[in-house]
Homo-oligomer: A and B are copies of this chain.
């Protein structure tokens, strides 16, 4: 069986040249960012930083130039992403738009939608959130109940979405609604809409959902007879399921799947010092081996995508192994330096450790639970 082939990641001198540029940029732009701030990883939100990224041409890197993109390779984009994550740069503003919503618009958007929005995303000025999960519908999209009912000139939307990251700071939401009945097929009758959050008159309410550490990233978004014009339909009516699925498939294997805790690994290394105990050296060496391996797997998938292949199962594997690893880092780190983790500590390691412990459970929530993911892998293995 060779279903699991992972090709050797390609070498790209351009990408390595770009890496040097990115490092020079970061050395200047985020020098004052504390380890505690870096530890937020792609949760960090900074509009000014996003605009600077846009000015560098590091958002929308692979998109066509006519939409503000830069027509660079997927490998060059990969280098920018991993350098940002490894440095703990605040990429949370443009993250979803660059990674998920922009490419979706490119595939299924109308010319007008693309012309209006994509250049603003590329400039680092336009942020997106995803309205998909609902209180009674997590991984099971077939049970979506938010409904868009056809009315004169458009739709009236009623329902509630939850876990919409940064809804309170974003310009647009990609909203998945029921527009038809569930037929024989469980996933029929779903449609994606493009919601211009800053230009809704009524019927939209965004309420914070605080996470267990008391931070506000998530929101509950309630729609009460919110009107959407006809041209807010994204892609085609009733194709929501297919569009969402293709949207998710290849976003599983990026460097964000194993670098979420990287700042903690850096601070652990610092705290251990240049001559750690045998025990600490063994633990650190093992973690470095895992990062090296995951990075190779992830770059391999990027290379396969670049080559036009369809590495869906490989991508799911990278996410499964990678998120497990990210969650393991704080558990290992705390055993090497005996002290109580403390968000307010003046000892950087302990503060980053506290943040990482409190956020680690979310690493396997983003983009589907581990059970769902492993089910997909099993399907890829031919078991379902």
Contact = CB atoms under 8 A, between A and B. Distances in A.
A21 to B, nearest CB: 42
A282 B280 CA distance: 12
A358 to B, nearest CB: 25
Highest count of chain B CB atoms <10 Å: which of A278, A279, A282: A279
A285 to B, nearest CB: 12
Interface string A278-310: 110010000000000000000000000000000
Contacts of A279: 277-279, 282
Interface residues of A, number: 4
Nearest to A281: B279
Label chain A's interface by main secondary structure.
Answer: helix
A278 B277 CA distance: 9
Question: How many copies of the chain does the oligomer comprise?
Answer: 2
Contacts of A278: 277-279
A96 to B, nearest CB: 36
A290 to B, nearest CB: 16
Interface in A310-358: none
Contacts of A282: 279
A277 B281 CA distance: 13
Interface in A230-282: 277-279, 282
A277 B277 CA distance: 10
A332 to B, nearest CB: 13
Contacts of A277: 278-279
Nearest to A335: B282
A226 B20 CA distance: 81
Interface in A177-219: none
Nearest to A282: B279
A84 to B, nearest CB: 36
A230 B269 CA distance: 74
A279 B279 CA distance: 5
A367 B282 CA distance: 37
A144 to B, nearest CB: 26
6 contacts: A277-B278, A277-B279, A278-B278, A278-B279, A279-B279, A279-B282
A278 B278 CA distance: 8
A277 B153 CA distance: 76
A348 B130 CA distance: 61
A343 to B, nearest CB: 27
Nearest to A283: B279
Q: 6 closest A-B pairs (Cβ-Cβ)? A: A279-B279, A278-B279, A277-B278, A279-B282, A278-B278, A277-B279
A282 B277 CA distance: 13
A374 to B, nearest CB: 14
Nearest to A277: B278
A280 B279 CA distance: 9
A282 B338 CA distance: 13
A320 to B, nearest CB: 19
A279 B280 CA distance: 9
